[in-house]
Amino acid sequence: MTHGEGHTIYMLGIGGIGMSALARYYHSHGYTVAGYDRTPSPLTQQLENEGMAIHYEDNPTLLPALIDFAVYTPAVPKDLKELEALRQNDIKIMKRSEALGLVSEQHFTIAVAGTHGKTTTTAMVAHILNTCGKDTTAFIGGIANNFNSNLLLGQSKDSIMVVEADEYDRSFLRLHPNISIVNSIDADHLDIYGDRQHLVAGFNDFAALTEGKVIVKEGLAIHTDRGIRFGFGDSCDYRAEILKSEKGVTDFVIHGEGQKTEITLPMAGNHNVLNATAAFIAARQVGLEPEAIAEALASFKGVKRRFDIRVNNENHCYIDDYAHHPEEIRSCLTAVKASFPEKRLTLVFQPHLFSRTRDFMDEFASVLALADELILLDIYPARELPIEGITSKALLDKVQMSDKHICQKSELINLINSEKPELLVTMGAGDIDRFVEPLEKMIKTW
Q: What is the pLDDT of residue 167?
A: 84
Half-sphere exposure of 205 (CA within 13 A, CB side): 14
Q: Of the ranges 88-97, 138-147, 182-191, 343-352, which one carries the lowest mean pLDDT score?
A: 182-191
Q: Is the pLDDT of residue 27 over 70?
A: yes
The stretch 175-183 carries a mean pLDDT of: 97
The stretch 413-437 carries a mean pLDDT of: 96
* Same domain, residue pair 172 and 264: yes
* Same domain, residue pair 122 and 256: yes
Question: Measured between alpha carbons, how far is 379 from 431 in angstroms, rounded to an integer?
Answer: 10
* Same domain, residue pair 114 and 247: yes
pLDDT tier, 246 (very low <50, low <70, confident <90, very high otherwise): confident
Q: What is the pLDDT of residue 5?
A: 46
Q: What is the pLDDT of residues 184-221, one digit of tens each?
A: 998 665 667 778 888 899 999 999 999 999 999 999 99
For residue 86, the domain's CATH number is 3.40.50.720
pLDDT tier, 42 (very low <50, low <70, confident <90, very high otherwise): confident
- The last residue of one of the domains, among 234, 268, 298, is 298
Q: Is the pLDDT of residue 7 over 80?
A: no
Domain that holds residue 404: 308-443
The stretch 159-174 carries a mean pLDDT of: 90
- pLDDT over 70, % of the chain: 98
**Residue 116 domain-assigned (yes or no):** yes
pTM attached to this predicted model:
0.84
Q: What is the pLDDT of residue 2?
A: 40
* Same domain, residue pair 289 and 371: no
Kindly report the average pLDDT of the chain as a whole number: 93
Question: Measured between alpha carbons, how far is 150 from 445 in angstroms, rounded to an integer?
Answer: 30
Give, as one character, the DSSP assignment of residue 303: B
- pLDDT over 90, % of the chain: 82
Q: What is the pLDDT of residues 120-155, one digit of tens each?
A: 999 999 999 999 999 999 999 889 999 999 999 999
* Same domain, residue pair 270 and 357: no
Q: What are phi and psi of 419, to 5 degrees?
A: -85, -35
Q: What is the pLDDT of residues 293-326, one digit of tens each?
A: 999 999 999 998 888 899 999 899 999 999 999 9
Question: Measured between alpha carbons, how far is 336 from 371 in angstroms, rounded to an integer?
Answer: 10
Q: Is the pLDDT of residue 354 over 60?
A: yes
Q: What is the pLDDT of residue 208?
A: 97
- Domains of the chain: total: 3
Question: Measured between alpha carbons, how far is 275 from 277 in angstroms, rounded to an integer?
Answer: 5
The stretch 435-445 carries a mean pLDDT of: 97
**Residue 317 domain-assigned (yes or no):** yes
- The last residue of one of the domains, among 276, 298, 320, is 298
Exposure string of 313-329, with b = 16+ CB inside 10 Å and e = fewer, is eeebbbbbbbbbbbbbb
Q: What is the pLDDT of residue 171?
A: 87
